Structure 1
Amino acid sequence: MTGPGEATGRFLPGYTSFMIARPHDRPPRPTPALLPGEERPSHIGPAKLDDWTGGWIAQLAAPSAERMGAGAEQILWDVATGSQARTASDADGGWTVVQRGPVRLWDRVERAVQRRQSADEPHQDRFGITVSAAGQRVWLGTEDGPGWDLPI
């Protein structure tokens, strides 16, 4: 249902993404220094972010973060706050995460991936978006389902 200044609908099948316009490309940034932080076990396998929809979900959960790495070794660096998260394999066959900064990036990503897992890991076409004067929200299943508010 839509009205003036409002829109809602589902993402199309396939792989929806947008290319940054050349004049809007981010300015060069230094390589992030991997600083110490709080370490804990990760509740998800970091490789979940390597699949298309998994990476997309991570971006919804941490919209100003850049992701580097693959598999067990992922780095998230929030360019807005300087927050960091980095994952690694542990000796028991699991994973650890080290986080620092005001935003717990991996906590947000874990919750988002776990939401998707509890819904049987749907593809992007099971998600929708609602845009209104109040903001923009991506949701899973139905408009009142779990979702993520996008920055304006």
Structure 2
Amino acid sequence: MATCSVRSIPRSWLWQLREGGTITTTISGWMLASGLIRLTMGEDGTATGRFTGDTIGYMLARPHERPPRPSLIQHPGSTRTTLVDPALIETWTGHFLAQLAAPSAELASTSDSVILVDVATGSQAWTEPADNGWTVHQHGPLPLWDQVEGALTTWKEAGAPDQSAFGMTVTDDTQTVWLGEPDGPSWQLPT
């Protein structure tokens, strides 16, 4: 059991488990969203489990902390109407999904805008109110809002369940968070 959050399960934790052993921790990231997971090691060396749905979080373990980035200067880029309300990111599960979709991004918000900045590439996206909805501006090599919007749309189409509908599979090489069942919609954690 860990009382700090991690961006992904350290391999050394897996190596300490035998069949039936468990890991309980919070998965978090640079957007500071989190989900409490309990994983059980299978006989094949794969750990699987479901998120509890509890709204709990811990600070990130030091090796998993985000690197410093320069002050935000919004750059012009492509502009379009959003397909989802940016307020979905303010919900517990919506925030978690945004983090899964853009794992190297940080999140900031103002009273009427959501701002995403990718620490690795400098890509950015920000929303602003428009006539009957929202406009999003994106700049850089990663289409951050497109990634987040896709995850939020998938979640809404599944009925917008809480985190207990999500699970995780961890192998020595990959770490996947999935919705519903292991073969459902999924997102890879950075390893």
Task: Give me the TM-score of the superposition, normalised by structure 2.
Answer: 0.74
Identity over aligned residues, as a percent?
A: 51
Cα separation, partners in 2 of 1:150 and 1:22, compared to 1, 3 Å = closer
The yes-or-no answer on 1:114 pairing with 2:153 is: yes
- Structure 2 equivalent of residue 103 of structure 1: 142
- Structure 2 equivalent of residue 77 of structure 1: 117
Paired residues of 2:69 and 2:119 also in contact (CA < 8 A): no
- Structure 1 equivalent of residue 70 of structure 2: 30
What are the Cα deviations for residues 96-146 of structure 1, in whole angstroms up to 9, with x where unaligned?
A: 000011110000000000011001100011100000023000000000000
What are the Cα deviations for residues 28-83 of structure 1, in whole angstroms up to 9, with x where unaligned?
A: 43211101100000101000000111000000000000000056400000000110
Q: CA shift at 1:12, angstroms?
A: 1.0
- From 21, 41, 60, the equivalent of 2:81 is 41
- Structure 2 equivalent of residue 143 of structure 1: 182
> Aligned partners of 2:64 and 2:90: how far apart in 1?
25
> Aligned partners of 1:117 and 1:126: how far apart in 2?
13
Task: Give me the TM-score of the superposition, normalised by structure 1.
Answer: 0.91
Which 5+ residue runs of structure 1 have no aligned equivalent? none
- Structure 2 equivalent of residue 13 of structure 1: 53
Tell which has more relative contact order, 1 or 2 (C-alpha 8 A, sep 6+): 1
- Structure 1 equivalent of residue 132 of structure 2: 93
Q: CA shift at 1:23, angstroms?
A: 6.8
Partner-residue secondary structure (3-state), 1:82: coil
Amino acid at match of 2:94: G
- Structure 2 equivalent of residue 130 of structure 1: 169
Which 5+ residue runs of structure 2 have no aligned equivalent? 1-40
Cα separation, partners in 2 of 1:58 and 1:83, compared to 1, 3 Å = same
Pairwise CA RMSD: 1.8
Paired residues of 1:47 and 1:72 also in contact (CA < 8 A): no
Would you say how many aligned residue pairs link Structure 1 and Structure 2?
151
